Each structure stands twice: as C-alpha cells, then as structure tokens.
Amino acid sequence: MKNTLVDATNVKKDFRTGKVVVNALRGLDLTIHEGDFLSIVGPSGSGKTTLLNLIGALDVATSGTVKVFGEDLSTLSRRKRADLRLKSLGFVFQAYNLVPVLTARENVEFVLELQGVGSERCETAQSVLEDLSLGELADRRPNELSGGQQQRVAVARAVASRPRLVLADEPTANLDSKNAEALLEMMRHLRDEHSMTFVFSTHDPLVVSYASRVVTLHDGTVVSDEMKNSVADDGKTEGIG
C-alpha cells in the first residue's frame, strides 16, 4: 500500500471578480500517492492550475480540505505554508522562471540557501546538476541556455532539496518534442531513483503518454482518474539527454 501524500476532499475554490463569482473547483476529490507520475489534464478553465495552487500550498480552498503529507493546509499560517513549500515541495514552471542574474548552479544553490543549508550548498548544487547531466552548464546564466536546458535547470532547482512531491505546471509547453522528451525522462529517472512524486498540469499528449496516472478535470471536478502504463515503462524511449 503506497503512502498518501495528498488528500483533497470536497474541495471548492471560488474567485470573485467584481460581482461575478467564478467556481474554479466544485467539490473536487483527489488522492495522490507516493511514486505517482500523475498528469492532470482538461480544457482551459477546468481548474488544473487552481488545483496545483492548492496542492502546492500557494492558496487555500474556499471549502473542503486539502491535506498534504497529512497536514490540513487551511490550518497553516502563511509562514508555515512557505516552510512546507521550501522543505517538502518542488515547483517547475511553464516559463522556467530561473533567476536571470544567477548562474545555473547559483539558481539551484539559492533554494538551498533559503533552506538554511550551510557552506556545503555549492557542492550539493553542483552534484545535483551533474546527476542530471547539467554539470557543464553550471556557470552559465539563463540567457546563455536554451529553453530545454533552462527547464532542466529548473527541474534541478525543484529537486535539489529532494522534495517528496514535485508540481509541474505545463513543463513542456515551451519545449520542442525532443527537449520535452528529455525532460520527462529526467523526471522519470528522479522518481525511480529518489522516490519522488510528480504531478503535472498539462495539455501535452507527450506528458500524458509518460504519466502512470491521468486525472481529467472538467468544470472543476474530476471526471476520470485512470491508471495506465507509461511510455517509459514500456521502454520505448531512451535515457536522459
């Protein structure tokens, strides 16, 4: 029996824009287990990003409960939610969002510094980059890297502190298929090697093909939740590139 990392029960999230109330999530139930490689799919406005925001402790539900690692996020202060994100969650963004004035290694190191890691953080960051075959890019700044390289560095930043859960918002949206595949391979490798759990919000069929579980949202509720064999599990792709 796999551990439950996320348990969302009857989650509702409303946004108010002037007099208009938008019901982004309407009583959503979802459980995420350790080791999941999960894609959340659905049309625009179905609530994918809202769900990721709630799981990522960036926002709180209007009603219902979202428990991450057993903690009810609605009971946590802003500071404690920041702590949870820093220590146990990793984020990968669609637009990479690396700090432009820091090198690849410094971007990874920065998260470790925020966590209070001491002088060894530089070596740790270098080692994470080398593990992900990014060692030779360590001293380059984001503007000296291709989109694919930037996103791989962003993954390195997300996993540097070995979080249990990594949330990725449209991680392949700005990548060509070759780079997208390399990125997904890298993530699969991390899941297998370090028992990390990955949750993607995506429209990309390639990401879906890599997922071991696909959750489909529509109008703020889960309309399907399927387990499947992923491309990587079938051995149809090559190693990390």
Binders of another protein in range 55-84 (CB under 8 A): 56, 58-59, 78-79, 82-84
Task: Report the candidate in 49, 131, 35 with the shortest Cα–Cα distance to residue 94.
Answer: 49
Are residues 99 and 123 in contact, defined by beta-carbon separation less than 8 angstroms?
A: no
Nearer residue to another protein within complex by CB, 165 or 232: 165
Nearer residue to another protein within complex by CB, 121 or 188: 121
Site mask for another protein (CB under 8 A), range 80-119, x = bound? --xxxxxx-x-x-xxx-x-xxxx---x--xxx-xxx---x
Per-residue three-class SS string for 105-149: HHHHHHHHHHCCCCCCHHHHHHHHHHHCCCHHHCCCCHHHCCHHH
By CB under 8 A, tell whether 18 contacts another protein.
Answer: no
- Could you tell me the smallest distance in angstroms from the CB atom of residue 111 to another protein? 6
- Could you tell me the smallest distance in angstroms from the CB atom of residue 58 to another protein? 5
- Could you tell me the smallest distance in angstroms from the CB atom of residue 169 to another protein? 5
Q: In what order do the strands lie in the sheet with 197-201?
A: 89-92, 165-169, 197-201, 37-41, 213-218, 221-227
- Could you tell me the smallest distance in angstroms from the CB atom of residue 52 to another protein? 6
Distance CA 186, CA 214 (A): 19
Q: Is 63 helix (H, G, I), strand (E, B) or coil?
A: strand
* Two tokens, residue 32: 């995420």
Give the Cβ contact number of residue 128 at 10 Å.
24
Binders of another protein in range 186-205 (CB under 8 A): 201
- Could you tell me the smallest distance in angstroms from the CB atom of residue 110 to another protein? 5
The site for another protein (CB under 8 A) is made up of 49, 52-53, 56, 58-59, 78-79, 82-87, 89, 91, 93-95, 97, 99-102, 106, 109-111, 113-115, 119, 157, 167, 169, 201
